[in-house]
């Protein structure tokens, strides 16, 4: 198994650079690949910010990619839960931060939008700093 970076996944999903897309397909289709949570977070940001993917398209791209037999996502259950929160309006990075901190007594932030979204999803331990 090899670990892959954000740019490999982006080329695979977006197909906007022929040579790099071809190489990305070879890498991902021909061997087992590992994707860290930090790479997942960066892929979401790039798809949304640079390529202007809307939320449903980002989610669909992740689910399709993560469902490939050659792909292993670090903390895949956590990523799936973060995608669910994202599908209900929470920022994806905020969802990952929140879920990674579930073992803590509190998660404090100045981000009122995150607090509102987290509490609406049942995560009452997120509070205003």
64/94 same-domain check? no
pLDDT at residue 129 greater than cutoff 90: no
19 within domain boundaries? yes
Q: What does the pLDDT look like over 26-62, one tens digit per residue?
A: 999 999 999 999 999 999 999 999 999 999 999 999 9
Q: Report CA-CA distances (Å) from 8 to 4, 15, 42, 72, 122.
A: 6, 10, 12, 14, 35
Phi, psi of 72 (to 5 degrees): -115, 120
60/122 same-domain check? no
For residues 115 and 67, give the distance between their C-alpha atoms in angstroms, rounded to a whole number: 31
2/40 same-domain check? yes
- Number of structural domains the chain divides into: 2
Vertex 21 angle, CA 94 and 56, to 5°: 35
As a whole number, mean pLDDT of residues 66-90 equals 95
pLDDT of residue 124: 87
46 within domain boundaries? yes
As a whole number, mean pLDDT of residues 71-89 equals 95
pLDDT of residue 3: 98
Structural domain range at position 114: 90-129
58/99 same-domain check? no
Strand 107-109 to 2-3 pairing: unpaired
Partners of 71 in the β-ladder:
33
As a whole number, mean pLDDT of residues 69-88 equals 95
Count of CB atoms within 10 A of residue 78's CB?
A: 17
Strand 107-109 to 71-73 pairing: unpaired
pLDDT at residue 123 greater than cutoff 90: no
pLDDT at residue 5 greater than cutoff 90: yes
Last residue of a domain, one of 27, 49, 74: 74
pLDDT of residue 48: 95
As a whole number, mean pLDDT of residues 67-73 equals 96
Nearest to 71 by CA among 45, 33, 104, 125: 33
26 CA to centre of own chain: 22
The mean pLDDT of the chain is: 95
pLDDT at residue 1 greater than cutoff 90: yes
């Amino acid at each position: 198994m090899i670990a892959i970076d954000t740019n490999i996944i982006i080329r695979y999903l977006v197909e906007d650079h022929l040579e790099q897309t071809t190489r990305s397909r070879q890498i991902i289709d021909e061997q087992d690949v590992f994707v860290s949570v930090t790479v997942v977070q960066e892929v979401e940001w790039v798809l949304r910010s640079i390529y202007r993917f809307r939320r449903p398209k980002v989610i669909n791209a992740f689910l399709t990619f993560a469902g490939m037999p050659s792909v292993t996502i670090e903390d895949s259950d956590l990523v799936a839960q973060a995608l669910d929160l994202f599908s209900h309006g929470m920022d994806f990075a905020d969802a990952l931060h929140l879920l990674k901190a579930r073992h803590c007594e509190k998660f404090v932030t100045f981000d009122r939008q995150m607090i509102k979204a987290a509490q609406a999803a049942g995560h009452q331990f997120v509070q205003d700093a």
